[in-house]
Amino acid sequence: MAFRSNGPVMVALPPFRGVTRRIILTALVSYLLLLVLGMVLPDFAGLVFGLFALSPVKAVREVWQLVSYPFAGGGLLSVLFALLTIWFFGSTLEDERGPRWMGEYFFVATAGGGLVACLLALASGDRVRGIARDSTAFGLWPFSLALVLAFASFYPEQGLRFNFILTLKAKYLAAIYLLLYLAMTLLGGDRFQTLTALCNALAGFAYLRLAPRRGLRVGVSEQWFALRNNYYRAKRRRAAKKFTVYMRKQGKEVSLDDDGRYIDPNGKPRELNDRNWMN
């Protein structure tokens, strides 16, 4: 779904595909599995939940919690609203930025945000009410907040129409989400969960500002190939310089450009694989 018009866009679900679909399906499967385990083997379900939910004191050893806690369940309504938010905003951003970007954004926001939240909780030393070393965070709402922030960053003036009545710009929607989470942090009892959501938004914001448009992987690849090409160009220039000196000792003058290509007497450079000039 593209957002190029100036008018408000009806909030309708975009196509269900790509990385967004995999995130949603993984969350649904994990929720149903934990639900069934909770009815059949409640003790085992609690053990599984403890392994996958994010806990600062456990994440030091069980590092997989940094990426597993979004799929550790939650209440039915909470899961449904989070999945609908991810479906709408995630699919739209994935269509615009690509699946590789979406996968990186999910990993950076959840793992990076979870890591920052754990470090803050460990640094607090149980001195902040609701943020303790043994606190837990779980569910996809933290990542949902990061997605809304990303959407508002790319389309701040885009109007979203809810229930055919209320129209709200994306930047105001993101501001409302952030204010709600800040209020929950200050007034609520489960502050570590809210802190994790805010840290997800912070990690996502850092990714939006620092990462290339097409993602970190593409940016790193481009930098690597640029360095490699510069290295080969430098080798070619050194070889061309040695060849020029050698030909001068043989009583012949040759001209080469900065890329090591032979320049014929007419001033036209030859291609690198054209060796007719040597005859």
Run means of pLDDT, 10 residues per run, the chain, 279 residues: 47 78 94 91 90 92 93 84 88 89 94 94 79 88 91 82 66 82 69 89 91 58 57 68 69 65 56 49
Q: Where are the domains of the chain?
A: 9-211, 220-278
Provide the residue type at 22 as one letter: R
Residue pointed to by tokens 């930047």: 171
Evaluate if pTM is beyond 0.75: no
Could you tell me the two tokens for 37? 């385990």
Give the pLDDT of residue 4. Answer: 45
Give the pLDDT of residue 279. Answer: 45
Give the pLDDT of residue 238. Answer: 73
CATH assignment, 9-211: 1.20.1540.10
Give the pLDDT of residue 1. Answer: 43
- Among candidate residues 138, 126, 143, the one with its CA nearest the CA of residue 198: 143
Give the pLDDT of residue 256. Answer: 63
201 touches 145 (CB < 8 A): yes
The neighbouring-strand residues paired with 262 are 256
CA 214 to chain centre: 10
Give the pLDDT of residue 96. Answer: 87
